[in-house]
Amino acid sequence: MTEIESQLLDALLELENAGRTAAHPGPQPDLLSRFKRIDALAGQLPPDADPELRHFLARKSYVKAREHLQGLTAARGSCRS
């Protein structure tokens, strides 16, 4: 896993945790800044980055992107949206 991919995984996990927090009463997390961070990191992926990961990120399929980075998705070549 590259440094950018590692940072993306961290950002995706932070977004999921913030989303869980948003479902509860009290101060709401800043989700917009988390979305912007993920978009910025996705923009830093090199041209030869995994096309499936790029696909998930472009379509805002953040759970699938996280699973892919964690090695939980099907073998390469199955492009789901």
Q: Where are the domains of the chain?
A: 3-69
Q: Note the pLDDT of residue 80.
A: 46
Q: Note the pLDDT of residue 72.
A: 62
Taking a C-beta distance cutoff of 8 angstroms, is the pair 66, 13 a contact? yes
Q: What is the mean pLDDT of residues 52-57?
A: 96
Q: 0.85 exceeded by the pTM?
A: no
User: How do residues 5-29 score in pLDDT, each as one tens digit?
Assistant: 999 999 999 999 998 887 778 888 8
pLDDT band at 63 (very low <50, low <70, confident <90, very high): very high
CA distance linking residue 48 with residue 52, whole number of Å: 11
Taking a C-beta distance cutoff of 8 angstroms, is the pair 9, 56 a contact? no
Q: Which two tokens stand for residue 55?
A: 């696909």
CA distance linking residue 19 with residue 71, whole number of Å: 22
CA distance linking residue 64 with residue 49, whole number of Å: 16
